Structure 1
């Protein structure tokens, strides 16, 4: 369930950017509903890092961590940073929790399902459909899934240099099943296009889940991809009453309509992969902003931050766009 969460945040810069953007989104929601009254449900991992940040930034005090691994559950007990986090007496998988938890209509929830196992995509989409059916107006659902095309596999009977996209498209059709967003071809299963295909499957799962509740809709808010190793897709949506959408009240009152990272159609996710930099490199780059372009920064540094010029340029443009959401990590010697 949360195996990827065992990697410390200081080694996952891009996931930390995604987390900070999520906090930024939730502060916008606070313009409509008191965010501190929400219940936060997520996969805490051994360190419960997200819970500390959510509590500190948003003053949310009702928090539930889901964990299926027994050893990680024991580590959570040892590392418990806040008394308001409920980790349960015993390990519990997300599916069992969702089957038994009641999303009371008078309470609001933020649910972040942070999946890491690419072998369980169909099961994960089933959980997304299930929870979408249980949520109530102004509840927020965030999904993180492994979107690394290599995890789909390849035809081992063919040479290693054979294009694997045809095989992966067929495999995906079998895997996605009822959540297949459209007939797939080779172009839907490449390393650059697979995250978009998976995002559309997530959208279909959410809409299938809420389809029986004619008074509600589930509205996309953001969608990103990042890589701290393998490519991950993250998408956030909010449940609203139909009239809220018709008059656009939620998005205008929350000021999300002016949020630069808003993505209301989920046609494709935005890439938030930023370059790995030393402290000195980052300080130098920021000293050239806000006026310098990516190319001007490269010219000033006289070296590349990535494997090639194109990758460096792309990552620097991302850094410039998301600079405010990029955390500072530094080694502290006691």
Structure 2
């Protein structure tokens, strides 16, 4: 995917999203142990997500799916955890042989992350649908999609907004085909928000179709995140396959409804927006976070600078920083135990 060559700690929103995903899996593990789960993903050159789930959750049955030869060669070279099976295949081929792959690892269930960046939404969501159909109760699926409106159509200089939105609507409808839920969408919604809504309605549709032949299997959206990653507007969705009779127990053991990042329905998403701060700004804010026990209003009142053009936006930006502080790459880099000996000095400009 685009961005593979950029390490996670230089993509702060993506970094935070991945940390939150691990926290979600930790919650799911309170309902069902993940020891015998296969973790399969489009891991990129660094296989950072496989390393993280191994360290945080103890998952040992790990697989990366990669179609690009040179990226696959880098995976083999980098190999952050012994035993990751790096397969040079298309994600669609993995999905088509999902049961075979699980059996080859001797696993009962799987966690699969289809991490896409290129805008091929219809194909990618259909691929998710095929995966969901193959999944069993207890399996977890995650998909990351590019939802930037500019990937549908680039607005022309001087083009009127209503004309632009009409073109986007028509092009998106043609692109999504039968996955486009026209009754729930209109021309005036054609922005990043509208593309996200169209994608979620399509995901809801394929999830419903995937469970239609099995009255016991139900797909529950656990977390829907949106964030900017370099020039891309991304959305990532995590689903779990549940037997309907297990839903009450799942909610009770995971306590997912009390989790701040839980998505209560198919159109409730959480936006990750980690602000870029200087070392001096971050040091000052961190001292105020400690002094004022994360009270954002008090912190903001005691800052001699602002983070946006008006008070309201500045407060929102500060709130985003405080909320995501514990998940940020700066916390990771500041902990020297997580860096190789002597490496901290190379990251000093981030700390």
- Same fold (TM > 0.5): yes
Contact 1:40 1:110 in 2 (8 A): yes
Q: CA RMSD in A?
A: 2.3
Q: In structure 1, what is the equivalent of residue 207 of structure 2?
A: 206
1:100 and 2:102 matched:
no
Distance 1:308 1:232, change over 3 A: farther
**Deviation of 1:275 (Å):** 0.5
Equivalences for 1:46-65 in 2 at 5 Å? 46-65=45-64
- Whole-Å Cα distance in 1 between the matches of residues 198 and 310 of structure 2? 27
Q: In structure 1, what is the equivalent of residue 233 of structure 2?
A: 231
Contact 2:114 2:143 in 1 (8 A): yes
Contact 2:227 2:271 in 1 (8 A): yes
- Whole-Å Cα distance in 2 between the matches of residues 200 and 4 of structure 1? 27
Q: 95-104 or 130-139: which moved more?
A: 95-104
Q: 197-206 or 46-55: which moved more?
A: 197-206
Q: In structure 2, what is the equivalent of residue 31 of structure 1?
A: 30
- Whole-Å Cα distance in 1 between the matches of residues 310 and 48 of structure 2? 33
Bigger relative contact order (CA 8 A; separation at least 6): 1
**Deviation of 1:192 (Å):** 3.4
**Deviation of 1:322 (Å):** 2.8
- Whole-Å Cα distance in 2 between the matches of residues 52 and 162 of structure 1? 45
Contact 2:112 2:140 in 1 (8 A): yes
Q: In structure 2, what is the equivalent of residue 259 of structure 1?
A: 259
Equivalences for 1:1-334 in 2 at 5 Å? 2-88=1-87, 91-102=88-99, 103=102, 107-118=108-119, 120-154=120-154, 159-160=158-159, 162-163=161-162, 164-183=164-183, 184-229=185-230, 230-245=232-247, 248-289=248-289, 290-291=292-293, 293-294=295-296, 296-305=298-307, 310-328=312-330, 329=333, 332-333=344-345
Distance 1:12 1:213, change over 3 A: same
- Whole-Å Cα distance in 2 between the matches of residues 41 and 307 of structure 1? 43
Number of corresponding residues: 327
Structure 1 residue runs without a partner (length 5+): none
Deviations 1:170-225 (A, max 9, x none): 11111111212333312332133322332222222222222222221001111110
Structure 2 residue runs without a partner (length 5+): 335-342, 347-351
Contact 1:251 1:257 in 2 (8 A): yes
Deviations 1:59-79 (A, max 9, x none): 100011011111101111111
Distance 1:204 1:251, change over 3 A: same
Q: 223-232 or 291-300: which moved more?
A: 291-300
- Whole-Å Cα distance in 1 between the matches of residues 143 and 238 of structure 2? 6
Give TM-score scaled by structure 2 length: 0.86
- Whole-Å Cα distance in 1 between the matches of residues 188 and 212 of structure 2? 29
Distance 1:285 1:233, change over 3 A: same
